[in-house]
Amino acid sequence: MSLCVLNPGPLTTVQDLGREGCAAEGFRRCGAADNYAARLANLLIGNNPGDAVLETTLRGPEIQFVTAAVFALTGAEADATLDGKPVPFFAPLFAPAGSRLTVGTASNGLRSYLAVWGGIAVAPLRGSRSTDLACHLGGFQGRALQPGDVLPLARTGQEAAAHWQELCRRHLDHPLGDETVRRGGSPWRQMGGTRLPLLRAVAGPQAEAFTPLAREIFTHGVYRLTPDCNRMACKLQGPVLETVAGSDILSDGIVEGSVQVSGNGQPIVMLADHQTTGGYAKIATVISADLPALAQLRPGQAVAFDWVDPARAVAAARRQAALLQQIKERLP
Amino acid sequence: METALYPVGDCGLLAVCGSEIDEGVGDKVTALDAAVRAARLPGVVETVPAFASLLVRYDPLHTDYDTLAAAVQPLAARTRARRHHGGRTVTIPVCYGGDYGPDLAFVAQHAGLTEGEVIRRHTAPKYRIYMLGFLPGFPYLGGLDPALFTPRLQNPRTAIPAGSVGIGGQQTGVYPVASPGGWQLLGRTPLQLFAPDRPLPYAAGDRIKFTPITPAQFEALARKEGTV
């Protein structure tokens, strides 16, 4: 019950929906950067939303299924083959024992997700299987995957084969609504992919630390992702955001989406691996429904921001959850 | 100061109880944290106390900012006057100097004190834990003797062993796990403060008291703890 990593690509980690309930102890949340794609991958093969998946970056992985498995690919699309035969993204697939999956370079987008039925069965830490790269905790040995790593799976090959038979039987009566699933509201595609994505944001807890002009500029300027982007944060470059009296504050709790502005006036959007607290003034918080899109942008791409109030932000989160629920209900 | 509430996107509420690092403000944060946890408000996922604020994270599928603010506001009003008595005091044995604390001599020189006096002053207070962050279990402590304030290293170390106790600027603390870091290292504790399978021995609001031990005591405790 395992899969073997032949080539992980530039950065591949085990992630679920993150480590919740222990931020007060200093644990970073971590979890899939594009959690919509991770949830969708799990949903397509009958997993729980929080089962552990592999998150790749730009390219990969190349793996060998040591035992048979049911799997699905989502997120940034790339050419993928199973034993040399092309396989689609956004569909449940069956890998016989010994078969090789090769995922190439993403045509656009940044992060792809591979879910395996039953989940990647590494030991949980504080209730989560997510890898904390900064603290070397959780996931697979607290680190990014390397060639030769053998990851445990929760299901035997026999169980996977039986599950696949069951999926196929149900598909005969009720074919997979492929188009709905593929284009079905991936937040990043909805924003136009590589065109100028508009990230919605709520005014941050220190919005008043900024000049009124800075708050105008934030939603009228265009910001580019710098090469200094990773799972911890996206550092952006664009029009300077000036504070009234400096950007240092007494450290307070931050969330995924918090937009910190450091001394140079440039915004930093925190992603899944952010520290639990931060000491820079936060002009805004990107709403949770738009974070999956941000996680798919590459360095050099441009973004813009738009203000929304907390009520509209909550409504957007609920619409996104409802969309996944609809996709689930349309599945056989 | 009245506690002020701010939205943090669609999944957080920040309650700001003050604007400085101060025991009274810390008491308000600790009391509000306890009150919010005890109230078991629907949709609340977790709380993150900091120096002068409490972040309340919620699930936007189960509650929203206005509902939560209406529930937190009266809790904040009620906890305003309450003193936070107690919290635990956790004693952490530390072997100072030598390989355990390679910067003890520098800190002593910087302070114009003997190494013994630095140890005496560092072990005198019961330091208040204002918050944990940076690393799992890393405590931000208040109460360091101003004579011991020491700038951080100009070149941070790439690897600091777990259990190292140090000073960074006006703060003192202990590294629960190995990490890069720029603090001046005074000593090391043999206690295993962080273990994946058990809770931390302290939380925000508790106090830490360092006590000096000899290298022989360090080795004996380290064997017992399995940290050698």
Hey, are the CB atoms on B49 and A24 less than 8 Å from each other?
yes
pLDDT at residue A157, rounded to an integer: 97
CA distance B204 to B219: 29
- If you measure CA to CA, which chain B residue comes closest to A319? B61
Q: Which domain holds residue A54?
A: 2-183
| R_g of chain A, CA atoms, integer Å | 20
pLDDT of amino acid B156? 86
Provide the 10 A C-beta neighbour count for residue A189.
16
Instruction: Tokens 């639990």: give the residue.
Output: A276
Using 70 as the pLDDT threshold, list the residues of chain A that sit under it. Answer: 172-185, 192-194, 332
Whether A166 and A203 map to the same domain: the answer is: no
CA distance B52 to chain A (A): 7
Same domain, A7 and A75: yes
Contact A92, A332 (CB under 8 A): no
The predicted-structure confidence for B135-151, as pLDDT tens digits, reads as follows 899 999 999 999 999 99
Query: Which chain A residue shows the shortest CA-CA distance from B198?
Result: A126
How many helices (H) and strands (E) in chain A? 7, 20
CATH number, domain containing residue A98:
2.60.120
- Decide if the complex's ipTM is over 0.90: yes
Whether domain B4-79 has CATH 3.30.420.40: no
In this prediction, residue A162 carries a pLDDT of 97
pLDDT at A247: 87
Residue type, A231: R
At B30, the pLDDT band (50, 70, 90 cuts) reads: very high
The tokens of B182 are what? 């720029």
On the 0-12 / 13-18 / 19+ scale of CB atoms within 10 A, A2 is middle
For position A226, which CATH number holds?
2.40.100.10
Same domain, A25 and A167: yes
Amino acid at the residue B2: E
In this prediction, residue A173 carries a pLDDT of 60
| Residues of A whose CB is below 8 A from B65 | 310-311, 314
Question: What is the structure's pLDDT at A194?
Answer: 58
Q: What is the largest CA-CA distance in chain B?
A: 59
Residue A254's contacts (CB-CB under 8 Å, 6 or more residues apart) are A260, A270, A274, A275, A276, A277, A278, A282, B8, B55
pLDDT (tens digit, 9 = 90+) per residue, B177-219?
888 888 999 999 999 999 877 889 999 999 999 999 999 999 9
- What is the DSSP annotation of A226-237? EEEE-SSEEEEE
- Closest approach of chain B CAs to the CA of A3, in angstroms? 25
Q: What is the CATH number of domain B89-225?
A: 2.40.100.10
For residue range B72-121, list pLDDT tens digits in order: 999 999 886 555 556 799 999 999 999 999 999 999 999 999 999 999 99
Helices within chain A (DSSP H only) = 35-44, 157-173, 178-183, 187-190, 212-220, 291-294, 310-330
Q: Say yes or no: A214 and A100 in one domain.
A: no
Whether the pLDDT of residue B32 is over 90: the answer is yes
DSSP per residue, A284-313 = EEE-GGGHHHHTTPPTT-EEEEEE--HHHH
A interface with B, Cβ–Cβ below 8 Å: 20-27, 125-126, 135-137, 201-205, 250-255, 257-258, 275-277, 285-289, 310-311, 313-314, 316-318, 321
Evaluate whether A114 touches A73 at the Cβ level (below 8 Å): yes
From A183, A198, A232, give the residue that closes a domain.
A183
How large a percentage of chain B has pLDDT more than 90? Answer: 79
Which residues in chain B have their CB less than 8 angstroms from residue A258's CB? 8-9
Q: What proportion of chain A, given as a percentage, has pLDDT over 70?
A: 95
pLDDT of B38: 96
Domains contained in chain A, number: 2
Domain with CATH 2.40.100.10 in chain B: 89-225
Mean residue pLDDT of chain B comes to: 93
Q: Which residues of B35-67 are buried (b: 16+ CB within 10 A; e: fewer)?
A: bbeeeebebbebbbbbbbbbbbbbbbeebbbee
Rounded distance, CA B84 to CA B23, Å? 9
Same domain, A178 and A110: yes
Residues of chain B with CATH 3.30.1360.40: 4-79
A-chain residues within 8 Å CB-CB of B136?
22, 25-27, 135, 137
Among the partner residues B21, B60, B66, nearest to A288 by beta-carbon distance: B60
Strand pairing report for A78-82 and A2-7: unpaired
Quick one: tokens of B63?
């509650």
| pLDDT, position A177 | 57
Same domain assignment for residues A134 and A156: yes
- Would you say A170 and A24 are in contact if contact means Cβ atoms under 8 Å apart? no
Question: pLDDT at position B226, please?
Answer: 84
C-alpha span between B78 and B49 (Å, rounded): 18
Are the CB atoms for A272 and A231 separated by under 8 Å? yes
